[in-house]
Homo-oligomer: A and B are copies of this chain.
């Protein structure tokens, strides 16, 4: 089942590419926000490339001027928030292996999938994880109690490949074009600097 539409109004959908620096900052704050407003959080990793095929946009790191700005912006945001930020040498990694392992876990235990996603962010932005390497990301699933071989076989299977791709396509069909991207009661919010607005939207019932 491709779970993208909220079945009720009580969730916050969090769409992101693990290789999006702004998604990293959002990931550090979104759980506390969800708790404050009494909503559960639905993690939806996807490959931004799926959206770029529709928008014709190039990735931040492939865009002159924007690329330099983003790296400077991430560095100062990390200093301001007091969090680590060390980009892998090959950033932005095509994180398909991490996305597939996420959905393999998510099929069985959404809470463990969320813990896995947080751990991927944490390690990737310390330059300590290759999110394209199935062996490397499967180890993080094993930390959650899964058998390493089960994870690798499952994440490489046709079912999960299709689930990951169809989830991304369903998100883009609903308007997801960037990362991080959020839905609250059908209302879209784009960008880590919109969390205040998103929270205000929930608390006030929208404007």
Q: Which A residues have a C-beta under 8 Å from some C-beta of B? A: 51, 54-58, 63-66, 68-69, 72-73, 76, 79-80, 172, 175-178, 188, 190-191, 193-194, 197, 206-207
Contacts and interface: CB of A to CB of B under 8 A. Distances in A.
A190 B175 CA distance: 23
Contacts of A207: 76, 79-80
Contacts of A66: 55, 57, 177-178
A56 B207 CA distance: 35
A145 to B, nearest CB: 38
A54 to B, nearest CB: 6
27 contacts: A51-B65, A54-B64, A54-B65, A55-B63, A55-B64, A55-B65, A55-B66, A56-B63, A56-B64, A57-B58, A57-B66, A63-B177, A64-B177, A65-B172, A65-B175, A66-B177, A66-B178, A68-B175, A69-B177, A69-B188, A69-B190, A72-B188, A73-B190, A76-B206, A76-B207, A191-B193, A193-B194
Contacts of A51: 65
A72 B175 CA distance: 12
A134 to B, nearest CB: 30
Contacts of A54: 64-65
B193 A69 contact: no
